[in-house]
């Protein structure tokens, strides 16, 4: 059963609608005691990483999140919150994964935000991508990206620059795209997450 970390910065409806379609059980985590009810967790997020971090700090849930040893999936801004720092608001984040979140540069000559479908290529064999082919399209909406690093990047995308589309450190995973808006492939990824051991 999936626990959704509810702290006021997530697009909960689209995520819960996707989980309902996939018949994946879930509930909301609003206080520390709620973590023990679930065997995996999703951290959603939309908008400004700095503001989302402040809301997460206000929730009092960060120490419990950092201490988790069961599978965790950060989505979009939820993924960025797993990193050390974001250029968005010069924000210090949880530091769970030692990477930085950066703004797409004007020098890249690309439209920002990066919005729409883009190909995602796995850089390693990972159960999160079971039954998902390399080069499958996923749906992105973001102005900030997580730097590519071969140690923690398990899938990449390109938009003027190569960036981390999916990262992992131990039981913590993050996806920059929105699996809940990415059709069959996104649904498969959510099912794969629900089956991680």
Question: Quick one: tokens of 183?
Answer: 């059709």
Q: What is the pLDDT of residues 141-192, one digit of tens each?
A: 999 999 999 999 999 999 999 999 999 999 999 999 999 999 999 999 999 9
From 4-13, 26-35, 127-136, the region with the lowest mean pLDDT: 4-13
Strand partners, 26: 2
Identify the active-site residue in 33, 36, 76, 88.
Answer: 76
CATH (residue range 2-194):
3.40.50.880
Q: Is 25 helix (H, G, I), strand (E, B) or coil?
A: coil
Identify the active-site residue in 48, 88, 114, 180.
Answer: 180
Whether 76 is catalytic: yes
Nearest to 181 by CA among 142, 128, 140, 149: 140
Confidence of residue 8 (pLDDT cuts 50, 70, 90): confident
The reported pTM is: 0.96
Question: Quick one: tokens of 119?
Answer: 């190909």
Please, is 60 exposed, middle or buried when counting C-beta atoms within 10 Å of its C-beta (0-12, 13-18, 19+)?
exposed
Give the pLDDT of residue 143.
95
Per domain, the residue ranges of the chain are 2-194
Q: Is 134 helix (H, G, I), strand (E, B) or coil?
A: coil
Whether 180 is catalytic: yes
């Amino acid at each position: 059963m999936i626990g959704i970390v509810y702290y006021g910065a997530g697009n909960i409806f689209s995520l819960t609608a996707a989980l309902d379609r996939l018949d994946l059980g879930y509930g909301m985590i609003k206080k520390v005691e709620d973590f023990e009810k679930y065997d995996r967790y999703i951290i959603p997020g939309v908008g400004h990483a700095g503001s989302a971090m402040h809301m997460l700090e206000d929730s009092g849930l960060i120490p419990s999140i950092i201490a988790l040893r069961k599978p965790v999936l950060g989505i979009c801004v939820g993924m960025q919150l797993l990193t050390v720092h974001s250029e968005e608001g010069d924000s210090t984040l949880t530091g769970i994964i030692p990477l930085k979140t950066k703004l797409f540069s004007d020098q890249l000559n690309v439209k920002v935000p990066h919005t729409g479908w883009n190909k995602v290529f796995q850089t390693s064999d990972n159960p999160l991508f079971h039954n998902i082919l390399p080069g499958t399209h996923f749906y992105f909406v973001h102005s900030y990206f997580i730097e590519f690093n071969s140690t923690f990047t398990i899938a990449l995308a390109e938009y003027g620059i190569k960036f981390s589309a999916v990262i992992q450190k131990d039981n913590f995973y993050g996806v920059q795209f929105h699996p809940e808006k990415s059709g069959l492939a996104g649904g498969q990824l959510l099912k794969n997450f629900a089956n991680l051991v």
